A and B are shown apart, each in its own frame.
Chain A
Amino acid sequence: AQRVTQPEKLLSVFKGAPVELKCNYSYSGSPELFWYVQYSRQRLQLLLRHISRESIKGFTADLNKGETSFHLKKPFAQEEDSAMYYCALHSGNTPLVFGKGTRLSVIA
């Protein structure tokens, strides 16, 4: 069965500090991994996907198949990064499976 685990419910960091939001997945095939973000009073939106291998708003994520991880990283956190972050897995025609989310709080 597909499963996505985000071990941290809440992560607090100081502005300018590095950020790493952890995501581990369980799936035997070749999944597609995503990070979604939800800012306060806004709808859930796609942040990045592993096949794009791009950096969005300074965030990057690398798929590590050996460790079955897709951690989200940013070298210098900004206050506007404070939001709820969800890791999600997609395979074939199945719907996205989400983790329970991590709330990132960036302290000035």
Chain B
Amino acid sequence: GAGVSQSPSNKVTEKGKDVELRCDPISGHTALYWYRQSLGQGLEFLIYFQGNSAPDKSGLPSDRFSAERTGGSVSTLTIQRTQQEDSAVYLCASSSSTSGRVPSFGPGTRLTVL
């Protein structure tokens, strides 16, 4: 079946602009995660949605970062007033109890802030 998809695959923006990154999880997966992957830093957890529960936002690095999940499916990660240090690959993953709660990852969005 279809895996996790993300768009765009690449995004180049200017410092100070806002960006939106989209994630389409695997159908039926109740949990959705955003991670940031940067050189030397590994995978940093950003935010986690589980069903109808309040999201775990403990990994968001600043209030410029926010995420929504509409209808328990698609999620959008928004970064306002982007900074050069925001440049990274943003990964989305989803999981469900039937998948053993093992997250399946999308291909990522490579964000470059000039």
Q: List the interface of chain A (C-beta within 8 A of B).
A: 6, 9, 34, 36, 43-46, 49, 86, 90, 93-101
Contacts and interface: CB of A to CB of B under 8 A. Distances in A.
30 contacts: A9-B40, A36-B105, A43-B105, A43-B106, A43-B107, A43-B108, A44-B91, A44-B105, A45-B105, A46-B102, A46-B104, A49-B100, A49-B102, A86-B43, A90-B101, A93-B50, A94-B48, A94-B56, A95-B33, A95-B48, A96-B33, A96-B45, A96-B93, A96-B103, A97-B45, A98-B42, A98-B43, A98-B45, A100-B42, A101-B42
Nearest to B51: A93
B35 interface: yes
A60 B13 CA distance: 42
A93 B106 CA distance: 21
A48 B99 CA distance: 14
Contact of A34 (B3, B35, B59, B102): B102
Interface in B76-114: 91, 93, 100-108
Contacts, number: 43
Contacts of B106: 43
Nearest to A32: B101
Interface of B: 3, 33, 35, 40-43, 45, 48, 50, 56, 59, 91, 93, 100-108
Contacts of A95: 33, 45, 48, 56, 59
Given A9-B40, A94-B56, 19 more contacts: A34-B102, A43-B105, A43-B106, A45-B105, A46-B102, A46-B104, A49-B100, A86-B43, A90-B101, A94-B48, A95-B33, A95-B45, A95-B56, A96-B45, A96-B103, A98-B35, A98-B45, A99-B42, A100-B41
